[in-house]
Chains A and B, each alone.
Chain A
Amino acid sequence: MNLQSVKTIYQAEMARSLRTVLQSIVSPVISTSLYFVVFGAAIGTRISEVEGVSYGAFIVPGLIMLMLLTQSVSNASFGIFFPRFSGSIYEILSAPISYFEVVLGYVGAAATKSVILGLIVLGTASLFVPFSIVHPLVMLLFLVLTALTFSLLGFIIGIWADGFEKLQLVPLLVITPLTFLGGTFYSIDMLPPVWQAVTLANPVVYLVSGFRWSFYGMGDVSIWASLGMILLFLTVALAVVSWIFRTGYRLKP
């Protein structure tokens, strides 16, 4: 294991985030705050409690999840897409490092950043609404697993994309809609039965539900289904990444 190389990639990626601190940290915090103002304070006061939790507190886990998914994907995809785009990927490919180490560096940095952001948003949320976390360790586990899995997805997108349009295609057309429809702002119990069944096909439901369970001890689906789903995602993402490197897809002609 070439730890020096992994550390170098990791630190360079973290430094890149610090350079673009406004875009990487401030903007997600601002947009999350806006959600709280609109959904929590303005609309939330008209909505009574959802499953025994105030509406403002109810949306906290969903909002963090929304931010976690979009930020993980966009960070990790940009991290690997940019060297491909600028051509400086040659250096990574010619270095004495294994593919696993490359992924560890890039995805590790993207996931770390997402976890930090998640915690910052959590802190921001606590300024708007009071809430408690029943299972803090499970909360952290979900935070880390989700950040890791979606950073891997971002890495895959960053390698697949051959232009900036494609880079934004998946986050805009897949992640955001699925998150909005995945019970971020509502419990799926509030939906008509048909839509409840349809919603269960949305994988993000399981993530939001599991994450919410760690806060309030209740969710739309069982915690085990949520955990199983995130682990399934992780496995699929790892399989795709290892296929990419085995075949040299889009990296090595």
Chain B
Amino acid sequence: MPTSSTMTESSLTHRDEVPAPQGTREEMARVSEDCVIRVEGLSKTYDSGFQALRDVDLAIRRGEIFALLGPNGAGKTTLISVICGLVNATEGRVLVDGHDNVRDYRRAREIIGLVPQELTSEAFSTVWDTVSFSRGLFGKPRDPAHIERVLKSLSLWDKRRNRLITLSGGMKRRVLIAKALAHEPEILFLDEPTAGVDVELRRDMWEVVRGLRDSGVTIILTTHYIEEAEEMADRIGVIRAGELVLVEEKHALMRQLGRKELTLQLREPLDRLPDGLDDHRLTLAEDGQALIYTYDGRRDGDDDQAGIAELLADLDAAGIRFKDLHTRQSSLEEIFVRLVREEA
């Protein structure tokens, strides 16, 4: 194989001879390693006049799972479509691994895989053919071994000779994922990957997505299911009426915005809150069997800002005894609903 070894040598030499890039080292490192997608000042107004995106800035880190949350019509799909080249931006630009997705579309698109929201397919071709087609379409040479790996990882191997029209919705969804993975993308977009998919299949899909992330693929998913974002995402972006209202680490988000609840199961039921406890934000629940205390989860420093010790002392003083207690942090869903409501 003299040819291939010569080629490798020459390409290595070539790489060594490339002049050092301009700009500070940190900047270069940040751009080239940290962010795999950079969205800058992106706006989209459709011909109908509907403004789907308003000045969106977003940086997706290499190797992360980023969940884009938002109500229907918030602009999730438009954002993905602009990045993937399905929709023209009105303003702003998108860099994919440093390549402008309009001027240098080949380089930008070849590392992206897209799983659309709609279950679309060439109804009459087989699973094997349609997945192989996707690979070829993205300019990659035939590689039956890779297609086999992809189909097996998605439990589609047994169905490879089936026509798409004969598959169930969940199976079609898997085929779309297989198509998106056929050309070995570095970035995978999943637009509502588990919409209309039963719970078991959803869990399976989460496993697949985690496996992909472990292999170094960056994943951006949009979802209605907060549970999904909570389960999967490293970071979360919330989009509302075309504006990215928040981008945050999932854990930080839940910590910052999460309200906590302390529930005390009482030994003796109460008719009403006793006097002297008005200062605490207490409510009676479960027909007087329980007291619920709501406090801000972010004030969890050393000093008793949450006021739990004080509350317990006051309860003791008022002669209220409890047999059990537990605390609960808001789920992402509650945070999300609150966020969207507050800003609406």
Identify the A interface with B (CB < 8 A). Answer: 2, 4-5, 7-9, 11-12, 15-16, 19, 82-83, 86-88, 90-98, 248, 252-253
Contact = CB atoms under 8 A, between A and B. Distances in A.
A80 to B, nearest CB: 13
Contact of A252 (B87, B120, B137, B140): B87
30 contacts: A2-B106, A2-B139, A4-B139, A4-B140, A5-B136, A5-B139, A8-B136, A9-B137, A12-B129, A12-B133, A15-B129, A16-B124, A16-B125, A83-B122, A86-B123, A88-B122, A91-B114, A91-B134, A91-B137, A95-B138, A95-B139, A96-B108, A96-B138, A98-B106, A248-B88, A252-B87, A252-B88, A253-B46, A253-B87, A253-B88
B47 interface: yes
Contacts of B107: 96
Interface in B111-170: 112, 114, 116, 118, 120-125, 129, 133-134, 136-141
B116 A4 contact: no
B137 A92 contact: yes
B133 A8 contact: yes
A5 B88 contact: no
B113 to A, nearest CB: 9
Q: Residue among B110, B116, B120 with the most chain A CB within 10 A?
A: B120
Contacts of B108: 96
Contacts of A252: 86-88
Contact of A90 (B105, B114, B140): B114
Interface residues of B, number: 33
B179 interface: yes
B136 A94 contact: no
Given A92-B137, A94-B86, 20 more contacts: A4-B139, A5-B136, A8-B137, A9-B137, A12-B133, A86-B121, A86-B123, A88-B120, A90-B116, A91-B179, A93-B86, A96-B107, A96-B109, A96-B139, A97-B106, A97-B137, A252-B86, A252-B88, A253-B47, A253-B87
Given A2-B106, A15-B129, A94 B112 contact: yes
Contacts of A88: 120-122
Contacts of B86: 90, 93-94, 252
Given A87-B118, A90-B116, A4 B136 contact: yes
Task: Report which residue of A11, A12, A90, A98 has the largest number of chain B beta carbons within 10 angstroms of its beta carbon.
Answer: A90
Contacts of A11: 136
A19 B164 CA distance: 14
Nearest to B113: A94
B41 interface: no
A252 B84 CA distance: 12
Contacts of B121: 86, 88
B116 to A, nearest CB: 5
Contacts of A96: 105-110, 138-139
Contacts of B122: 82-83, 86, 88
B85 interface: yes
Contacts of B109: 94-96
Q: Which of B86, B107, B140 has the most CB of A within 10 A?
A: B86
B136 A87 contact: no
